[in-house]
Amino acid sequence: MRDVVIVGVGSTPFGRHSGTPIEQLAVRAAAEAIVDSGVDRERIGALYLGNFISGPMNGKEVLAGLVAEQLGLPDIPCTKVEGACASGGIAFRHAWLAVASGQCDAALVVGVETMTHAKTAATTAALNCAMDNENDGPSGLTFPGLFGLAWRQHAQRYGTSRSQVSAVVRKNKGNGLLNPLAQMGATLTDEQIADSPPICDPLQLFDCCPTSDGAAAVMVMARELAGGLPGPAIDVLASVQTRGSARIAGHPDLCTFEATVSAARKAYAMSGLTPDDVDLVELHDCFSIAEVIDSEDLGLVPRGQGGFWAAEGRTAVGGQIAINPSGGLLAKGHPVGATGVGQLYEVVHQLRGTHPNQVAGARVGMTHNLGGTGVACTVTLLRRSDA
Amino acid sequence: MRDVVIVGVGSTPFGRHSGTPIEQLAVRAAAEAIVDSGVDRERIGALYLGNFISGPMNGKEVLAGLVAEQLGLPDIPCTKVEGACASGGIAFRHAWLAVASGQCDAALVVGVETMTHAKTAATTAALNCAMDNENDGPSGLTFPGLFGLAWRQHAQRYGTSRSQVSAVVRKNKGNGLLNPLAQMGATLTDEQIADSPPICDPLQLFDCCPTSDGAAAVMVMARELAGGLPGPAIDVLASVQTRGSARIAGHPDLCTFEATVSAARKAYAMSGLTPDDVDLVELHDCFSIAEVIDSEDLGLVPRGQGGFWAAEGRTAVGGQIAINPSGGLLAKGHPVGATGVGQLYEVVHQLRGTHPNQVAGARVGMTHNLGGTGVACTVTLLRRSDA
């Protein structure tokens, strides 16, 4: 397997893009990544597009080929991949694999979703496509329900409090204020969070990521071929995809997602790095409590300490480990298929030293993208090439 | 890249499976392929699932992980891929790539779709997800419309007649009668075909593949590791995926699909074979005229001669090149995401010499899976290992 580097990134703002067709958003982000990379279109040998619910939400599929055509790419394999909220991370892993295995010299990754045009009930129904509806459908649980249960269990076992979880929200909403791509940055007080409309006890509105449109893109290339390109290449040290249970009952312990634990373990082994090497992480905070759990599952924070660390500021920019300096899903937004690719966009800018909320001296960054009930997970480890 | 072989196949019948959840169909076919292969579940290192429209049709995604869990597979990367009607072929190519590149020793491919439970209008709307709806939507064209236009152009240029195209229908419906997995085998006369209800001039009902439920599965393995398995291994000599235009206006010549021409050319180059080496092909006859065009695009029949060859019986079992001995999409059915994998199921049985409509002495077989307006295409070349 060849070494692979990221040589270009692009992204639309996350938020409302009413009236813009989904493929146009994807084309916009991808065109930016192509220009950023300096890679000639004729050299791109594969396109992977991560998308979750364009079928039910837009009546549009075959997006991979559609986007490639509008970008003027040659006759190359163009594939949409889907793994619920991990679709973007899965797309990246396949582009990495195509280049690492020598199938092509460069590959383009695009993640995209449009959601804000639909009514809430339709969006909720579409998002529930990520559940095992035969088995869990009759329970009536939706994703806020699942994460509400997880919070209850975490609070009971580890003493995680409302104010600790609010610290996650305050941090990420604050980080989002510094990120021009973020949908909902804000300066919030504990009271504003606790008093925001209840969604699914104990989750309030500000504990939940918003509904978003957006697209992000990444260009990967074989390291040995990336020499003459304009920008700084970022090393891909590990790209891992794992599977957990699609059933809620398949998770007897809701304080952990086994797919995250497994992906992190494999990524550390693949890269030779340890959690201590990681300077920042963009992780899957679809709900505030998810960040607490993810940070522990990834080995970045001791088990049970996710809430404590957030409250003590140890996960802020400038703290021990910067978690979601972009604002995360909570503030940046969560256009589902775009999220995993958007995380890579953010980490690449951090490692280039060009992020608007820069982590000083960042050398190693991680992304973590989790799908459904933890049925799919990807973890990526990136390093500044001169580091 | 390592040599790859197919070591197991499985399939449900294609047709109506009312009330059976889509993931159950997939599990049934996959379990059969696992048993057929003799590969231990713990050795399977990746699962690729081809599906097109389970989101809009069933409100179900994350099928790859869901199916893996119900099969009792370990924590492995599980990925749904989508490329309209070529989804199954794309899934196979990715499993092949995972094994060929050394990512894993064995990989499981599943293709699945359920369609018969929905109303015709809903199915048509879902199928139209495979079009470039922004550009072609306003034209009002559906897929029968596109292939009706193609027929007109082919007839005008090459003199292809109703009775020649009917010969395709009679052949495939007749082949289907011999295939216990086929949905709609029949003995038809030219009059019955010409007098069947009009769909989109000049297409009559029997020119169109039926709406179907079904699943098929294939196990691939590294050739060097497949020695001790019970069944005869089938060599994968080429697995190719290409892209054509997603727009109808992107096909100024409707008598050919450039993605098919390109895929065939690449598959012949990759395998070192020529069209003369191919004993049989399962190709994408979503409509009768599609078989005519595909057979020419694949280089199996001289340009413009597809109709003539069918009428002369040269594409029947026992003819020069056996086309769709399974009955093809026209008779076997077209559960979209399953189709490309089902074609591999059929060819593997031909090369094992165990097909109910056996092509005598078959050594080399081809599959051809075409998505949407030709936006995605896969071609596979398989050979009997002792051949």
The CA distance from B20 to A132, in Å, is: 15
Residue A375 has pLDDT above 80, yes or no: yes
Q: Using an 8 Å Cβ cutoff, are B299 and B268 in contact? A: yes
| Residue A222: its H or E element | strand A214-222
pLDDT (mean) for A109-133: 94
- Give the mean model confidence (pLDDT) for residues B138-154: 94
Tell me which amino acid residue A43 is.
Answer: R
Q: Which of A71-85, A128-142, B31-45, B264-278 has the lowest mean pLDDT?
A: A128-142
- Percentage, residues of chain A above pLDDT 90: 94
pLDDT in tens, B171-217: 999 999 999 999 999 999 999 999 999 999 999 999 999 999 999 99
pLDDT digits (tens, 9 = 90+) for B233-260: 999 999 999 999 999 989 989 999 999 9
Roughly how many angstroms between the first and final C-alpha of chain B, as a whole number? 22
Reported as a single tens digit per residue, the pLDDT across A300-312 is 999 999 999 999 9
Check: CB of residue A263 under 8 Å from CB of residue A281.
no
How confident is residue A346, by pLDDT bands cut at 50, 70 and 90?
A: very high
The answer on pLDDT for B387 being more than 80 is: no
For residue A18, the 8-state DSSP code is T
Coil, strand, or helix at residue A368?
A: strand
Cα A367 from Cα A285, distance rounded (Å): 11
Q: Say whether A61 and B79 touch across the interface (CB within 8 A).
A: no
Neighbouring C-beta atoms of residue A38, cutoff 10 Å: 14
Model pLDDT, residue A211: 97
Answer whether 0.90 is exceeded by the pTM.
Answer: yes
Judged by CB atoms closer than 8 Å, whether chains meet at A243 and B53 is answered as: no
Position B371, amino acid: G
Nearest CB to B62 within list A97, A246, A250: A246
Reported as a pLDDT band with limits 50, 70 and 90, residue A387 is low
Which candidate, B29, B16, B9, B111, places its Cα nearest to that of B70? Answer: B29
Summarised one tens digit per residue, pLDDT across range B349-381 is 999 999 999 999 999 999 999 999 999 999 999
> In sequence order, what are the residues at sequence separation of 6 or more whose Cβ sits closer than 8 angstroms to the Cβ of residue A227?
none
Q: Is the ipTM of this complex over 0.90?
A: yes
Q: What pLDDT digit, counting tens, does each position of A135-187 carry?
A: 998 888 889 999 999 999 999 999 999 999 999 999 999 999 999 999 999 99
> B106-113 and B214-222 as β-strands: parallel, antiparallel, unpaired?
antiparallel
Give the DSSP letter string of A182-217: -S------HHHHHTSPEEETTEEGGGBPPP-BEEEE
Identify the DSSP state of A371: E
Test A55 with B59 for CB contact under 8 angstroms.
no
In chain B, the percentage of residues whose pLDDT exceeds 90 is 94
The pLDDT value given to residue A231: 82
pLDDT digits (tens, 9 = 90+) for B290-345: 999 999 999 999 999 999 999 999 999 999 999 999 999 999 999 999 999 999 99
- Mean per-residue pLDDT, A79-105: 98
Q: Which residues of A have a catalytic role annotated? A: 85, 334
B250: chain A residues, CB-CB within 8 Å:
69
The pLDDT of residue A385: 85
Per-residue pLDDT band for A230 (boundaries 50, 70, 90) equals: confident
pLDDT of residue B156: 98
Tell if the CB–CB gap between A53 and B59 is shorter than 8 Å: no
Cβ-nearest to A242 among B75, B82, B101: B75
Helix (H) / strand (E) element for B50: namely strand B44-50
Q: Of residues A354 and B385, which shows the higher confidence score?
A: A354
Active site residue B355: no
Q: What one-character-per-residue DSSP string does B291-356 give?
A: HHHHHHHTTSS-TT-HHHHHHTTTTSTTSSSEE-TT-HHHHH---HHHHHHHHHHHHHHHHHT--T
